[in-house]
Amino acid sequence: MNSMATNPPHALQFAMQVERFYAGLILAAKPGSDTEPSLGGRLLYAGQLGADARALLVAANIAGAASLAVSADAAAGKQAMRDGVIDFLVTSLDEALRILKNEMRKRTAVAVCVVQDSEADFARLLLERGVLPDLLPLRSAPAPEFAAFLSLGARPVVAIHPDSDQVILAWIVADAPAQWLPKLDTFAMDCLSSDPSDASARRWLRLSPRYLGRMSQGLRLLRCDENAAAGFQVQVERGEIVVPVEIQVMSGDRLQINNFAPRTR
């Protein structure tokens, strides 16, 4: 069945936005000790905690970076903590730096948001304190402080859509997702090659469920080629899955949906 992919559900839409940011971030990563690319030890400054920054912070956690954001709205920061977007909500840069330095030294992912009224004042404070991020979101008209970060070597991060030979593969389970999604994830991992070109996809598949959390409950998605997507569907059809599974394959503005019903004995 084919249809236009115009209005994906909110959870899927958010996961796709995170995945596009992840694709942009991981370009700046280096291979880790387990051969997966990692941004461990790198600092992302996401700026104001808005909708795009939430997706960028989740993507940075998946990529292994330490992240910093600012918000004038403490309630929005608390909601971001409940959603798992950030790990810490603090009231001063000093508190944030203590956390960030500790986690960056261990090369582990962490996301910190500072409650402060003015994003511009906070960015100026970063410059005054010599806190220079490695990564920044790309802005069409960057503020002077962001332009200063870029001139000092920060790398702009762009959301990257799939190439023409790639698809977005999504699988959705409504019944007992905690039980059946891990099995489906294993099917997807088996369809990826051991080649270094698939290393970032393996990292995404391994860590995105943890950091997307309840914001994508019941669904997974993966950027892959058409052969991997086809192989995944074959494994689902042959596997011992006893709940219905919806599989979506998205390419450009085209959406193919296949529904797999559990086999009757």
Given pLDDT bands bounded at 50, 70 and 90, which one contains residue 10?
confident
**How many angstroms separate the Cα of 57 from the Cα of each of 12, 104, 110, 198, 211?**
17, 15, 9, 22, 10
Q: Is the CB of residue 44 less than 8 Å from the CB of residue 134? A: yes
> In a 10 Å sphere around its CB, with 0-12 CB exposed, 13-18 middle and 19+ buried, how is residue 253 labelled?
exposed
- Quick one: the chain helix, strand, coil %, rounded to 5? 45, 25, 30
**How many angstroms separate the Cα of 8 from the Cα of each of 13, 16, 56?**
6, 10, 19
Global pTM value: 0.92
How does pLDDT run across 218-256, given as a tens digit for each residue?
999 999 999 999 999 999 999 888 999 999 999 988 999
User: Is a pLDDT exceeding 60 seen at residue 4?
Assistant: no
How does pLDDT run across 128-174, given as a tens digit for each residue?
999 999 999 988 667 888 899 999 999 999 999 999 999 999 999 98
Q: Decide: helix, strand or coil at residue 227.
A: helix
% of the chain residues with pLDDT over 90: 81
**More confident position, 3 or 199:** 199
User: Is a pLDDT exceeding 90 seen at residue 265?
Assistant: no
Cα angle: 145, vertex 146, 149; to 5 degrees:
90
CA pair distance 157, 103, nearest whole angstrom: 21
Say what the pLDDT of residue 244 is. 94
Q: Is the dihedral of CA 227, 232, 237, 238 positive or negative?
A: positive
How does pLDDT run across 70-88, given as a tens digit for each residue?
999 999 999 999 999 999 9
Say what the pLDDT of residue 1 is. 39
